[in-house]
DNA sequence: GGCTTTTCTTAACCTAAATTATTTTTTGCC
DNA sequence: GGCAAAAAATAATTTAGGTTAAGAAAAGCC
């Protein structure tokens, strides 16, 4: 189990002693995922926060027509969960699925609560993580309210530069909130114009 | 300065001793706002988290055309801030304005950091506050991606029941992401259909 | 109370994006 | 490498919602 990436991720916000690092690592459960393997489905309780060490996951909902709406992507070095379900430990609405064969480290809700008791610094770490998520989520919401699809695509490229050329276009289309057909037309237009 | 509402708000998530309550209260600065008074403008640094004890505030951006896009409302018992600017202490993009004559209590960023040191329980309190914001913000984003304007309006009514009949319709329209003209047409249609 | 300003409504017209259907291209996989 | 399945492109048609403009209603203010 390779924990260097996650320890580095944590060290961006809090400093841990070697003992604390060891304690944290002991709470992690590694898991391998095949392409298209589901980590979570609608109606299930999200019992883990998941950190991606290799590959890429995505979270999405299905609406009444069965259309997929992508909430987030999690490439290497990102966290992912159905946060409503995770925080409340009630059944959620999100699907979380591996886009590619992936390696992840999982921290259970119980372990996380324990961690807050044992090493209060982690309360700070996860608070900062969530603060950053909230800020970018608010910005994305405002973008969706105020910007045309072209600009939202440009913002997507900023946010996930490593994914622009490796993700199916229909998933990018879903993330920015347009149909694959419209996305295709839009990309052609953007090429023509520059 | 009436602090009963804010202390009650806090007691939903953490228990404070009378001494801790007194310390917390000593950090709060009361402020009165007239209708249309600005608490924050684009380009300014957001130095305070603001708790509304009376009245109602809203946060919004202005786009290139000068069109307003409402991010959030804060009636009594709610918190409001430009979180990007508040967390980073860099110039932000939001306007925060009083919708009506209002009374607020403000906690400066410095005081909040100090509070984390003095009474670590507050780290938990604000973490939970932000967790809840993030969850509802993600849900609103997914609603914007997947639901027609009518459904988004119904969700608005759920979220802010106290505001449905007291807010200018153009602000509600902006919050759900449509023009006032379309909103007016939509409301007429909804009445016809039920 | 009257005057100004803002908000709300209505209606005609317009456009970004959705839908449906078909074909072509790419990808995953044994 | 070949085949099935998924993804992408194209095009015709439709629609949700935007724009423009103008009048009616309501709210704020001395």
Over residues B147-191, the pLDDT tens digits come to: 999 999 999 999 889 999 999 999 999 999 999 999 999 999 998
Cβ of B189 near strand D (under 7 Å)? The reply is: no
User: Per-residue pLDDT tens for A41-64?
Assistant: 999 999 999 999 999 999 999 998
Coil/strand/helix, residue B20 = helix
In angstroms, the CA B179 to CA B194 distance is 22
Contacts of residue A83, defined as CB under 8 A and 6 or more positions apart, other chains included, come to A46, B131, B134, B135, B138
A134 touches chain B (CB under 8 A): yes
CB contact under 8 A, A138 and B67: no
The answer as to whether B103 is a domain residue is yes
User: What angle do helix axes A121-146 and B121-146 make, rounded to 10 degrees?
Assistant: 30
Please give the backbone phi and psi of residue B60, each rounded to the nearest 5 degrees, phi first: -160, 165
The answer as to whether A149 is a domain residue is no
CB contact under 8 A, A126 and B126: no
pLDDT score for B193: 77
Helix, strand and coil content of chain A, in percent to the nearest 5, comes to 45, 25, 30
Cβ of A188 near strand D (under 7 Å)? The reply is: yes
Cβ of A62 near strand C (under 7 Å)? The reply is: no
Torsion-angle region of residue B177: left (phi > 0), alpha (psi -120 to 50) or beta?
Answer: left
In angstroms, the CA A170 to CA A177 distance is 10
In total, the C-beta contacts within 8 angstroms joining chain A to chain B are: 86
Domain of A95 in residue numbering reads as 4-119
Say how far A50 CA is from D16 C1', in Å: 38
Backbone CA torsion sign across A55, A60, A62, A67: negative
The answer as to whether A84 is a domain residue is yes
In A30-120, alpha helices (H): 83-88, 109-118
A26 touches chain B (CB under 8 A): no
The answer as to whether B191 is a domain residue is no
In angstroms, the CA B75 to CA B55 distance is 6
Any idea of the CA torsion for A89, B139, B83, B149, to the nearest 10 degrees?
A: -160
Q: Count up the domains in chain B and report the number.
A: 1
Q: Which residues of B touch A87 (CB under 8 A)?
A: 131-132, 135
pLDDT score for B194: 66
- Closest by CA to B51, choosing from B69, B25, B70, B20, is B25
The answer as to whether A83 is a domain residue is yes
Any idea of the CA torsion for B112, B117, B118, B122, to the nearest 10 degrees?
A: 60
CATH of the domain at B91: 2.60.120.10
Q: Which residue's CA lies closest to nucleotide D16 at its C1' atom? A: B148
The answer as to whether A19 is a domain residue is yes
The answer as to whether A12 is a domain residue is yes
pLDDT score for B192: 83
% pLDDT > 90, chain A: 94
In angstroms, the CA A124 to CA A132 distance is 12
pLDDT score for B8: 97
Cβ of A69 near strand C (under 7 Å)? The reply is: no
Cβ of B186 near strand C (under 7 Å)? The reply is: no
Question: Among residues 135-164 of chain A, which lie with CB inside 8 Å of chain B?
Answer: 135, 137-142, 144-147
A66 touches chain B (CB under 8 A): no
Burial of A187 from C-beta contacts in 10 A (0-12 / 13-18 / 19+): middle
B124 touches chain A (CB under 8 A): yes
The answer as to whether A29 is a domain residue is yes
CB contact under 8 A, A71 and B131: no
| Under-50 pLDDT residues of chain B | none
């Amino acid at each position: 189990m390779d924990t260097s990436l996650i320890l580095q991720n944590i060290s961006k916000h809090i400093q841990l002693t070697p003992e604390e690092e060891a304690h944290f690592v002991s709470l992690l459960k590694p898991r391998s995922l095949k392409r298209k393997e589901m980590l979570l489905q609608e109606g299930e309780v999200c019992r883990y926060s998941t950190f991606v060490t290799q590959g890429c996951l995505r979270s999405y909902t299905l609406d009444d027509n069965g259309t997929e709406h992508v909430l987030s992507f999690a490439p290497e070095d990102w966290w992912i969960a159905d946060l409503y379900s995770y925080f409340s430990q009630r059944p959620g609405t999100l699907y979380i699925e591996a886009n590619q064969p992936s390696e992840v480290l999982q921290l259970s809700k119980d372990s996380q609560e324990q961690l807050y008791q044992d090493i209060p610094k982690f309360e700070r770490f996860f608070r900062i993580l969530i603060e950053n998520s909230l800020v970018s989520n608010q910005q994305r919401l405002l973008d969706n309210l105020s910007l045309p699809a072209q600009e939202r695509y440009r913002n997507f490229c900023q946010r996930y530069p490593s994914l622009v050329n490796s993700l199916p276009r229909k998933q990018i289309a879903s993330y920015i909130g347009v149909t694959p057909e419209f996305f295709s037309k839009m990309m052609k237009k953007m090429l023509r114009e520059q």
